[in-house]
Amino acid sequence: ILSSRTTTKSNADGPLVTPTSATDDGAIAVGKTDAPVTVAVYLDYMCPYCGQFEKANGGELDRLIEEGTVRVQLHPMSFLDKASGGTRFSTRAANAVATVAHRAPDKVLAVNRALFDRQPAEGSKGLTDAQIAEIASGAGVPQDVVTSFSAMTFEPWVVQATQKAFKAGVSN
């Protein structure tokens, strides 16, 4: 059972584990590999502009993925950890999404949307581990996958993916 507190222990120096659907440039790929269009979406789950993008475009992207027209590359980043009062919300949320991508890939888009639906304000402490788990469970993620979020297995990958995005010219 996950607590209502937040995980503050870092696993950033742990072994690099890459989600099975990850691309070399630090994205989680969703959709058919032969889709004629690829859309790259760089996001932080605390970023208000990222939340606005999801609200405005998420439904249409979901539809285009479903019809095989678009493959989306979600680039979860953690650049707003500094804006979550020491709780590392961005890293914890991105780790949860990477865990889902690895162990329940058909639920990635649902978790992505649900995290933005309950997006905390920038500058707040963010969501607790228990709230992230509740969101993922509500999106249909199996309980054994949700329980594994606290291991922070994909934190080193999140750190690396964030660094790759910045090196590629993404700025916050």
87: confidence class by pLDDT, cuts 50, 70, 90? very high
Any idea which residue has 């696993």 for tokens? Answer: 11
As a whole number of angstroms, the longest Cα–Cα distance in the chain is 43
Q: What is the per-residue pLDDT for 3?
A: 43
CB-count exposure of residue 63 (10 Å: 0-12, 13-18, 19+): exposed
d(CA 87, CA 164): 23
Triad 101, 104, 110: Cα angle to 5°? 75
Length, in residues, of the chain: 172
Q: What would the pLDDT profile of 10-62 be if each residue is shown by its tens digit?
A: 777 788 999 999 999 999 999 999 999 999 999 999 999 999 999 999 999 99
